[in-house]
Amino acid sequence: MSRISLDNPVPAVAICGYSGSGKTSLIENILPLLVSRGLAVAYLKADAHRVDFDEQGKDSQRARHSGAAVSFVSRGDGPDGVSFHHDDSSNPPAEIERRLTEHASRCTLHNLERHFRGCHLLLVEGMKYSALPKILVNRLDNPRGILPATSLRRVLKEIRLSGRAGDLREAAKKTIGIFESVIDTPSCRAARGVAGVVLAGGSSSRLELDKALLPVAHPDSSSSRGTWLERAVCLLAQYFGEVAIAGRVVAGGGSELPNLKREVKSFTDRHPGAGPLAGIESALEKLGSAALVLPCDLPLLDEDAIELLLSGRDSSAAATVFRTDDGLPMPLPMIIEIDALEPLTRYLDSGSRSIAGFLQTISTKQLPLPRELQYQLTNINSPEDLESLY
């Protein structure tokens, strides 16, 4: 049986700010410092405007001359870029638009992965309203003003440029430790040798809608802007070298994954109708590795909870899960080790179907879930739940 490659994806950091803030100039100073440390760095200009690839004097060419191993421009109207929100807007997007913007950025990086495979780091210029970790650049004399760090998610550091000589070099030196830490975070280390798995085989009987096909934006909007299944795949693709879908066979560019160009492996369950555990069993069997498993019906789950789960992984336990305030294990999402496959198959063969019941038969590491993240694990199971989401 062929196994899925479990190479880690390239970690990405966005360098963002208003137009004229000095993003490109800062990157030109950062790149030689990273290259001098033996790092292969890719550069992506995420541009909302039409530009010519590597045009003389343009940002992608300037990055190549500064040492980028790969340098290219992605446009929202191009074959790989997906744009649902103008990244250069001065106003932070509203909640629904923010979800779309974050999803568009994840889709674009998923589609472009082949271009920066093998690099140690990806520097993205732009995508300020994405969920990427960011370095925010503000130029004090920028006519557009100062972009508040509080208006963005996951800002690692804010750089304020005064325009004096040596300003950029000093600012670049202050960022190097950040990039080095992003390359080797606890969550990156924990993700090595692990696959991402999305469960998409449920019948959705209570909702009477196929959850995998529900659109990211609103139940009445077009699913071409992204589906719940596509969102879950792209979320996991940031951490795992391969992501698979359990419970159904899908095709990229189809109704389930309308914006994805890369192949996503998928398969049906060996125990059809046996619920989520059947999908987990099939994933472990087909992948031959540990897996971080999540259902497609957690549309509020994002990077904060995923990284917390990865950072707390205990590979000596059969599974790592979150626990409720009452001390009970929360079945999904979970990291399940390959050693759990044999007891899981026995459990299913006995006719048992409960995830909570199965977790009681194996060793589990239970992690506390901070109150501010608990909303992310809200399942959508009824029309009322769906209406409250939007």
Looking only at the bridges linking them, the beta strands covering 194-199 and 290-295 are parallel
C-alpha dihedral over 172, 178, 183, 186, to 10 degrees?
Answer: 180
Mean pLDDT over all residues of the chain? 87
**The CATH number fitting domain 190-389, selected from 3.20.20.140, 3.40.190.10, 2.30.110.10, 3.90.550.10:** 3.90.550.10
- Of 116 and 196, the one with more pLDDT: 196
What pLDDT does 380 receive? 84
What pLDDT does 91 receive? 73
Least confident of 48-62, 219-233, 238-252, 334-348: 48-62
Q: What angle do CA 335, 252, 96 make, to 5 degrees?
A: 70
What pLDDT does 122 receive? 95
Domain parsing of the chain, residue ranges: 12-184, 190-389
State whether the Cα torsion 276-278-279-281 is positive or negative: positive
User: Cβ neighbours of residue 16 under 8 Å, at least 6 residues apart?
Assistant: 23, 125, 126, 127, 128, 134, 135, 136, 137, 152
pLDDT in tens, 102-148: 999 999 999 999 888 889 999 999 999 999 999 999 999 999 999 99
Q: By the 8 A CB rule, do 366 and 323 touch?
A: yes
User: Cβ neighbours of residue 99 under 8 Å, at least 6 residues apart?
Assistant: 216, 217
For residues 17 and 14, give the distance between their C-alpha atoms in angstroms, rounded to a whole number.
10
pLDDT in tens, 295-310: 999 999 999 999 999 9
What is the reported pTM? 0.90
* Closest by CA position to 246, among listed 258, 233, 261: 233
> What CATH superfamily is the domain 12-184?
P-loop containing nucleotide triphosphate hydrolases (3.40.50.300)
What pLDDT does 40 receive? 92
